[in-house]
Amino acid sequence: MTIRDVLVFVPVYRLEPETVASVLALEWDGPLTWHFQRDNPLTEADHEDERVRGVLNHLHQYQRGRRVFLAGPYDAMLVIESDIIAPPDTLRRLAALDADVAYGAYIFRRSQTINLYEHYGDGARNPGEPLTYRPGAWQAALRAGKVRVAGAGLGCVLIKRHVLEAIDFRTLSAEMSPRVHCDSWFTADVYSAGFSQWADTRVICGHKDVDGTVLWPDGTVLWRS
C-alpha cells in the first residue's frame, strides 16, 4: 500500500517545544494532518500510584488516537510522543521502508537502552531484546541503515492503516500490570500477527528528560547533551 495521506499523532503528557518544532517541520509531499491530543483523565482519586495513572492515561491516549485515525481517510499514522525530537526527514525515510510498522531510533529515558528490539529471525517465538544489549548489534544496525526489528517503543513510529484496523492498543488491568505501558503489548501483538517491522537507524531522535537534558543515540555510546 502506498502511503500518501498521513495523520501525525502527538499524545500530549509533557509537551516539549522542541517536539512541536520538529513535528511542524516534517517533510512530506502528500496530505499531512497534525493531531495534538491532550486527554489524561485519570487523577489521584482514581489511582494513588502515579505510575499506574501514567500507564492508564497513556493507554487512553493511544486508544482515542486510534479512533480518530480510523474515522479519517488516512493511510498511516505517524506517532511522535510529546518529548521526542524527530529529524525533518523522519516521515520520508520511514515511509520509504514500506514496512507495516516502521521505527525511528531513540533512547528510553529510564533504561538508557535503544527503543529497537533485535529480530531473532523467522520462527523465533518472541520479540528480541534492545539492540544495545548485545555487543556490536547497535553499531551494525547503524552501519546497515535499515534493519528488521521486532518492535518496540512508540515514541517515533509509522503504522499503516491495516495494522491499526487489526490491532488496538491495550494493557492488562492495573492490578495485573501496573507498570507496563501499552507499547509492550502492541509490540507483542504486532509481532505475533506477523506484520513486518523495520527501522531506519538514520532517523535519530532526541528524547528530552524531565530535567531538560536530551538523550541521543550516538554511534558507539549513549550520551546526554
pLDDT tens, residue by residue, 74-104:
999 999 999 999 999 999 999 999 999 999 9
If 0-12 CB within 10 Å is exposed, 13-18 middle and 19+ buried, where does residue 202 land?
middle
Residue for grid cell 548489534: 137
pLDDT of 173 above 60: no
3.40.50.300, 3.90.550.40, 3.40.50.360, 2.40.110.10: CATH of 6-224:
3.90.550.40
- How far, in Å, CA of 99 to CA of 82, rounded? 24
Q: Is the peptide bond before 152 cis (omega within 30 degrees of 0)?
A: yes
- Beta bridge mates, 199: 103, 147
pLDDT tens, residue by residue, 11-67:
998 899 999 999 999 999 999 999 999 988 766 666 666 677 767 888 888 999 999
